Every structure is written in structure tokens, then in C-alpha cells.
Chain A
Amino acid sequence: MSSRQSAYYRGITMAPYDLIKEGLIAIAVVGVLVFGLAGVLSSPDVPPLTVQHVATTAPLTFLQTALGELDGTDSINNYGPPYNRGTGSVQSLGPVSLQRLAGVHIPINTAQDMVLGPLRDVARMEPSVAAALQIFGHASTTQQGAWEAAYGTALARARVQGTAVQLPAGGYGPVAPMLTGLLTLGRSGLLEPAIDNSPRIYSTDNTRSILFLQATALPAAAASSHLVGSQWGMMNETGNYPGQAWLWLYTLGYQIPAYASSPNADALVMASIAVLSLLLILVPWIPGLNRLPRLLGVYRLIWRDYYRERAALAPVPPAPQPLVIPGGRP
């Protein structure tokens, strides 16, 4: 070895070692472990929640979701950056809001992106939807709002008969055939591509189609799999599998009452994790913290053979020379 390491290990018993062989043995052993676990336990793959599933099994949820997207009451419309200039979910730490500073870079208008846009595709195949869109488009915003409100009230009293949704009679104008048309598109399985593949086809960006279900259907499905924040969900996995247990501290942040009840919960947790991570990186240079292992004494177990050997040697041989690092401390 180099003279630097020779000097460092002066006075220390050495032993022959074959690092390459040790490495190959480690790979073989871990390989057996990993292939064994994979073969016996497999891995989870729960299929995604599709709009088709929601539209087919819970049409009222679908219609409520779609109405919220059309009339703008869906929380995404008031979320804030990066989607829009809303204030509903804008977080800050003290006077600084990195979220607001970042600005709007993923503009989302739920009415256009998730309802009216896909309906224009349906309109090419369905004349009744084309006609409804015409009427809706030419009406005033007040009129549109009135239709939407009436539809929303009626939806609370709607019934599902087989595959059909039965609304009490009322003045919904074109909103009823529009949302029925969207329901049909949803049931066909074509709503996600209609949302995501506009304006460019072959899109790999699922932002809007995933956000379509964010209000009700997705959280409900997650809760039943114990994946919600208050269920320490970040650490969990679908099925009977270990999750990301290493996210325990991050998840713990969301359980602290002061954080959980704050509108800035995410910013607070992320900032706390950033500070703790920095502390962890800087442990070698933090006085007190860097002496903790010496105080705890677990090292005595690790190196017990070494200490036993040194104690047995008499007289006490000269201690290894402290290594002098230019500009540093031993």
C-alpha cells in the first residue's frame, strides 16, 4: 500500500484480503437473496384507476366530477401555480412563496381541457352533442352558470337505473346532453387519450388525465389501500408488500399536528427534511454531534477483538501516529 496508508496503519495487525473475490461472493449471495425473494414473493402491480371504471361503476361520481370541471368548482381551478393564478393551494414559508415565484407553467383550464375539448371530439360522431355544444358556446356565462347549478342540484337526487342515469326533469339546457356525451366517452375508455393527446398526439404527459380524477375517485381508491397521508400512506405499498420505508421521517412530518393542520404543510415538511438532510451530511463537522459515537460506545462492540489484542500486549506499544491532514484535524 502507499506510504500514506502504511503510516496510518502503523501498529495495527493486518490480514490478507481479496477484495475482488469478496465482491463476487457478495454479488452471488445477494443475487440468490434477490432472485429468491422475486421468485417467491413477486411484486405488486395493481392496475391504474381508469375513468372507464369510474364511469361504468360509479356514473354519479363521474358526472359530479365532470360538472365540477365544467363549472370551475373543481379545486384544481383555484389551485394556484403552476396551473393557474388561483390561491387555493398556494404555500409559503413566512413571507416567501417559492410556489408563487415559480409562476404558471402548466396552464390548466379544467372546463376546456377536460370537458369541452373532449366533447368537441365526441361532437364529430354525435350530432346531439354537437348541437348542445353550439347552444352552450353561444350562451352568456350567467346562463351557463344557471344550467350548471340546476344540473348539480338535480344530480344530488339522481338515480342509476342499469347503465342509465335518471335525472328529475329540469332546466339544464345543453349541459345534460353534454355531460351524458362525456359519460359515454368515459365508458368507452377514450377520455384519457382525448384529454392527454391534445394538442399533440403520442403524448407521454398524463398531467390532465390524472388530475381529472383527483377530487373524489382517486382519494377514495387510495384510502381503501391505506395510501392516504393520514394513514402514513407515503411509506405504504399496494398489496401485502413493503413500501418505501425509508420515507418514514418524511411521512412522520405530515403526522405532526402543527404541520398537518397548516395550509403550508408540504412546504413545512420539505423544508424540515432539507434542513435535517443538510445536518446529516454535515455530521462530521458539527461539534457535539460528531462526538456522539464516542460517547455511545457501540464501537467497543465492533472493535472488541482489536481492543482485547491491544490490552493483552504489554508493554503498551507506541500508538499509531495521528494522521496530519493539511488544514484539517485528525
Chain B
Amino acid sequence: MGQVPSYVQWGFIQISVPNLVVIVLMLVVFGLALVLPNPHRRVTGGPR
């Protein structure tokens, strides 16, 4: 982990691979949290 990381260039945007991994992971985790079926839990009853 001591070496200089590689960089990705996209137009004028320059981003290190570790940073890109973090940002992509954020989008993936957020997306999954949105679309995964909610865990089923028992409820105290119908609408109060």
C-alpha cells in the first residue's frame, strides 16, 4: 500500500483509484439500500 496510486482521467477530472473506489461504493451501497426488499418485521398492529 506504499506505492503511488494510479489515477483515472475523465475530461478535466482527475481522481485516484482509491477515491474512485470509495465513491463508487457509496453509490452502490445507497442504491442497494433503496432497492433491496425491506427486512420483514412484526408490527404492533394495523394503522393506529
Q: Which residues of A contact B (CB under 8 A)?
A: 9-16, 41-42, 44, 224-226, 231-232, 235-237, 239-243, 245, 255, 298, 301-302, 305, 309, 313, 317
Contacts and interface: CB of A to CB of B under 8 A. Distances in A.
A239 B18 CA distance: 10
Nearest to B17: A240
23 contacts: A9-B48, A11-B47, A12-B47, A13-B45, A13-B48, A15-B43, A15-B44, A16-B42, A16-B44, A41-B1, A42-B1, A225-B4, A226-B4, A232-B15, A237-B18, A239-B4, A241-B1, A242-B18, A242-B19, A242-B21, A245-B22, A245-B23, A298-B34
A11, A41, A226, A317, most chain B CB atoms within 10 A: A226
Contacts of A255: 12-13
A241 B19 CA distance: 8
Interface residues of B, number: 28
Interface in B26-47: 34-35, 38, 41-47
A301 B21 CA distance: 25
Contacts of A245: 19, 22-23
A324 B8 CA distance: 51
A239 B5 contact: yes
A231 B16 CA distance: 10
A14 B18 contact: no
A317 B46 CA distance: 12
Nearest to B2: A239
Given A224-B4, A301-B35, A243 B45 contact: no
Given A15-B44, A236-B5, 15 more contacts: A13-B45, A13-B47, A13-B48, A14-B45, A226-B7, A235-B19, A236-B19, A240-B4, A241-B1, A242-B16, A242-B19, A243-B16, A302-B34, A305-B38, A309-B47
A246 B7 CA distance: 17
Nearest to A14: B44
A41 B1 CA distance: 7
Contacts of A237: 16, 18
Contact of A10 (B12, B17, B18, B48): B48
Contact of B3 (A12, A240, A309): A240
A298 to B, nearest CB: 7
Given A226-B7, A245-B23, A239 B12 contact: no
Contacts of B35: 301
A235 B15 contact: yes
A15 B42 contact: yes
A237 to B, nearest CB: 7
A239 B1 contact: yes
Given A241-B18, A242-B21, A245-B22, A44 B34 contact: no
A236 B16 contact: yes
A242 B38 CA distance: 31
Nearest to A10: B48
A12, A231, A232, most chain B CB atoms within 10 A: A232
Nearest to B1: A240
A237 B44 CA distance: 49
